[in-house]
Amino acid sequence: MSTLPTVAVLDYGSGNVHSAVRALEQAGAEVELTQDRQRLLNADGLVVPGVGAFAAVMEALTSTEAPRWIGQRIAGGRPVLGICVGHQVFFERGVEHGIVAEGLGEWPGEVTALPQDVVVPHMGWNTVNAPEGSVLFDGIEDERFYFVHSYAVQKWEFDRSIPQMAAPRVTWAHHGADFVAAVENGPLSATQFHPEKSGEAGQKLLRNWIDSLKS
């Protein structure tokens, strides 16, 4: 019987999931690509991938009732990791080509277009500015990660005036403007970049997340 942490990768029709599965396996997890409710709820960790348009990803997630299962995991303190558009959908809404789509609403804020005075999409390697105490970026604070996106959250709107609520750890990057590159918030973490395409730095980030599942 395997003693590795179990990770379920949400299968809702998103492309490019198999590279994420392989990267998670290489990082030390027992991984299953599934949309089975019990498997998604019971796994030590859940990964929500995503590529393409915000509205299309939300429509696909909703068609499989995934928002309900994701919400149950977060409410129960069960770890979830979003990647790329799977990061974006945890915010309140996305605005693409004039189309406004509601997100999962775990964090306040909008996903909007990056400035047009730089090359878009933002495609390639970029450094990040990780906060002190980050679990995801432990030991890789100065590394570069691989981004492919034209939209991002450019304003962090979390209300810091509520003392009972611990402020999430927010990592920033810059391409024409500062944007949120990652968030760590209790059981919920997410990255705008693709750790599975980010070489050794991405592998280390995934190992950091997988190791946190054991605690």
In 10 A of CB 197, how many CB atoms? 18
Single out the catalytic residue among 25, 84, 174, 175.
Answer: 84
Q: What is the mean pLDDT of the chain?
A: 94
Confidence (pLDDT) at 158: 80
- Residue 203's domain comprises 6-212
Confidence (pLDDT) at 79: 98
Residue range 65-87: average pLDDT? 96
CATH number of the structural domain spanning residue 12 = 3.40.50.880
Single out the catalytic residue among 87, 122, 149, 194.
Answer: 194
% the chain with pLDDT above 90: 85
Q: What are phi and psi of 85, to 5 degrees?
A: -65, -25
* Weakest-pLDDT range from 31-35, 108-112, 159-163: 159-163
Provide the number of structural domains found in the chain.
1
Asked if residue 1 belongs to a domain, the reply is no
Where helices occur in 49-141 by DSSP H, the ranges are 54-63, 66-75, 85-88
Single out the catalytic residue among 149, 184, 196, 200.
Answer: 196
Q: Is the pLDDT reported for residue 70 higher than 90? A: yes
Asked if residue 32 belongs to a domain, the reply is yes
Strand 144-149, strand 122-127: pairing: antiparallel
Does the annotation mark 196 as catalytic? yes
